[in-house]
Chain A
Amino acid sequence: MTHPSDTGPAPVLALRDVSKSFGAVRALRGVSLELFPGEVHALAGENGAGKSTLIKTLAGVHRPDAGQVLLDGEPVVFHGPGDARDAGIAVIYQEPTLFPDLSIAENIFMGRQPRRALGRIDHRATHAATAALMRRLGVDLDPDRPARGLSIADQQIVEIAKALSFEARVLIMDEPTAALTGSEVARLFGVVRTLREQGAAVLFISHRLEEIFEICGRVTTLRDGAWIACEPVAGMTEDDLVRRMVGRDLDELYPKQDVTPGEIALSVRRLTREGVFTDVSFEVRRGEIVGLAGLVGAGRTEVARAVFGIDRWDAGEVSVDGRALVNGAPSTAMAAGLALVPEDRRAQGLVMDMSIERNIGLTGLRTTVKGGLMDRGAERSRSLDWAVKLQVKYARIADTVNTLSGGNQQKVVLAKWLATSPKVLIVDEPTRGIDVGTKAEVHRLLSELAADGVAVLMISSDLPEILGMADRVLVMHEGRLAAEIPRSDATEETVMAAATGRAAA
């Protein structure tokens, strides 16, 4: 077995004093990194710290302005992603891109299938090679199954198998767990451990700190493009790591205030959408934060969509402050005081090519109007007001939102909805993919809103977030509400038991 040590083997892949700028933005400033065979190495940092640029440099997408990439100790220049792949470097992205109509085996061996006479594809050999890869990963996936319908977790496994088929020695995993459920993460970590034992070097990126502590040996921290530290994970605490990333002590990640719940603000009665969710009843009171937990696909997002009117419901009723909402009509839901911060901020939350000002303005098309025309002054001051209140970091309010980091984009979505002064705020995965500093800000904001009497329904796959923020936890399992757990009884075990259907009703 090889292990990283001071005198041990050369790193399989390393960066030495690498700098990279885009225009005036210095994305990397003299960053070094060493990846040894048989180690899982974490890369930590807030959004905008330079993690993506570093990954793309290793993957041959970017060439460094200064400094070197070293492969087995020798300086190399990657002219493109193909060079890096040939050198045995593979990147597994958060959302894999497979051909949905091809089988798993065909996806893995796309363009280089084993051949028989006359150039015909040897399906049996392809199947066997794929099965061997799956065995090596310790995963049970049928090679002949089409990629369509595979969960994101399974798709990632296919990508990893594909990387192995290229004899990859270095695997870079960019937020692989962001869209996975607890058990899927556990299986992925099993695969990562197998890879480690087989001598691969793994660079692991995650915003979930507890995962870094679970799976990684060492952690390199970046802040504002600069190298901060590289140290063993053992002996560190989460607070240590956060301090390295943020550069200061973070007050508290879950600043939940105690609130006495008021009147019922949102009431959902026996809501059913055929084949999606069934007989869902709950209420959210003013001042309350109610967590909605469950596995991906349990129907949480679908309930939120129906409540807000994006999808129609087949039976049941929804009311805000006692007034029944119209089925399938978001505009009337908004008028009643309902706001929804959707799951997919790039497609659903924001018009990416529109300015910050106009994105926030979109929820005010009925209010910032004078004599039937847009009141541009009012629109601008409303947008500026909320962008400033939420401390969105931007150059100009007229910049398009796709110039912002993920965390700031999420703040724009929140600004857009808070500007409507909602009575009920539904947030779906409010902190997915955003850095720990912004995450704490979002949590503080939700807590303050609740203290001001807003009823908050928070859907999240981040269990610590649910446990840290919610007054009550609703758990969905296969389209039904499986449990309601008060804050005092909510633990990872009770919530997961209900989410996986193991709880007694």
Chain B
Amino acid sequence: MSLPVAAAQALQTFQDAAGWEQRARLLMQFGDRLPALSDADKCDANRVHGCESQVWLVGELHDGHWQFSAASDARMIRGLVALLLARVNGLSAAELQQVDLPDWFNQLGLSRQLSPSRSNGLNAVLQRMKALAG
């Protein structure tokens, strides 16, 4: 399965990054570019629980393709979510079932963000996405 264009660009950028500091700056830049979620969508029903910060995730199918949007009050998790959306947005329901998201973060050099002890919420976001995608 070929990568969506946004994902391929993100992957190249992160693979070129040298060191934690540059990855952190990139994460913040990706987070800053995440389109804003409307206040109406920042409701309790869309809240992803299990995060140290507040995270909201909304997913809709358009013509058989997933379109997720998200927001967070913390910058790092916002960046991580932006990288997640870059990988999954536009996929069909069948394609979304296939995609190996832990491997995606591994390729980005961010696999530590998915370790079980992390309370940053990326694990919780992945679970929520799985639940939404059925």
Q: Do A and B bind each other?
A: no
